[in-house]
Amino acid sequence: MFSVIYAIVFSAIALGVMAQQSSVMTKGLISSEKLLGTLQSVPLIDSQSEDGVKIAYDDVVGNIALDSVRFSYPTRPKASILRGISLAVQPGKTIALVGPSGSGKSTIIGLIQRLYDVMSGSVSVENTDVRQWNTSSLRSSLALVGQEPVLFDYTIAENIAYGRPGATQLEIEEVAKQANIHAFIADLPDGYNTRIGQTGGLLSGGQKQRIAIARALVRNPKILLLDEASSALDSNSEKLVQAALDKAAQGRTTVTIAHRLSTIQNADQIVVFRQGRIIESGTHEELIAEKGLYSLLVTQQSLQITH
């Protein structure tokens, strides 16, 4: 009788433990199904593919053109982001994209990199549609500096060299000078061998941004993309970073997005967006004279700074 009771009790305990683990097994099966689905999916834009046109680095001069581009994100196909955008960027020139949030400025940066494909129209680099380019070859000619740089828990030299594996110490130091960060690094006890912590947590925002600029410059890109690269900084850091950006843009085709309009007054062309359309285009002086949206935004920012 006692043997039967013990068997029933221990069996009940075992069944209870199994019931707890069954939910974990179910979650594991669901997760593995999602993981396998991701691994087996075929990307529409394959950055590892060898197909497509490969243009020699020396033949890239930085000619960019958008022709009647319409675009909606795949997750929101009914929300039109770009509505017939046509835009040309001449080699070696700096073009600034400004306008309210959500007007499509960052989307254009993504389309130039071919992170997405347009719904209609075309985006061309060197008179070749980016859809015909070999993706790896296209991106090797570009460099991006974003608002929040992604840094790793390695040394400063390793973070800069991540832009172009195999870069020499001399090349790393040269681009650090161009990014106005060399003097700061040289004063550190371990210099370029200083570890910067997870996500660069041991550095200030301005220092992280200038290291990101150096990492972009070590690629020696023909086209430089700046997505609000100084908007998250205080005024002192912004001046240092902006000076580095101005130096980096020299001799390169540069597409920059800025909310602080004081940083793009010297751009060769300023394009104003609203609701996915271009509503104004010209130099700073020309747009101020038009007294349109750009002039209004400049006035509003001047008032905010005054107060």
Residue 298 lies in a domain: no
Q: Which two tokens stand for residue 102?
A: 């959500």
Helical axes 235-249 vs 169-178, angle rounded to 10°: 120
> pLDDT, tens digit, for every residue of 254-265?
999 987 787 888
DSSP state of 196: -
Instruction: Specify the range with the lowest mean pLDDT, choosing from 231-240, 246-255, 285-294.
Output: 231-240
Model pTM score: 0.81
Residue 182 lies in a domain: no
Residue 14 lies in a domain: yes
pLDDT at residue 306, as a whole number: 44
Collapsing DSSP states into helix, strand and coil, what is residue 272? strand
Residue 1 lies in a domain: yes
Query: What is the DSSP code string of 181-244?
Result: -HHHHHTSTTGGG-B--GGGTTS-HHHHHHHHHHHHHTT--SEEEEESTTTTS-HHHHHHHHHH
- Quote the number of domains for the chain: 1
Residue 92 lies in a domain: no
> pLDDT, tens digit, for every residue of 78-126?
888 999 999 999 999 999 999 888 888 999 999 999 999 999 999 999 9
Residue 22 lies in a domain: yes
Which residue range is the domain that position 9 belongs to?
1-41
Q: Has residue 166 got a pLDDT over 60?
A: yes
pLDDT at residue 234, as a whole number: 66
pLDDT at residue 233, as a whole number: 67
Q: Has residue 232 got a pLDDT over 70?
A: no
Residue 217 lies in a domain: no
Residue 12 lies in a domain: yes
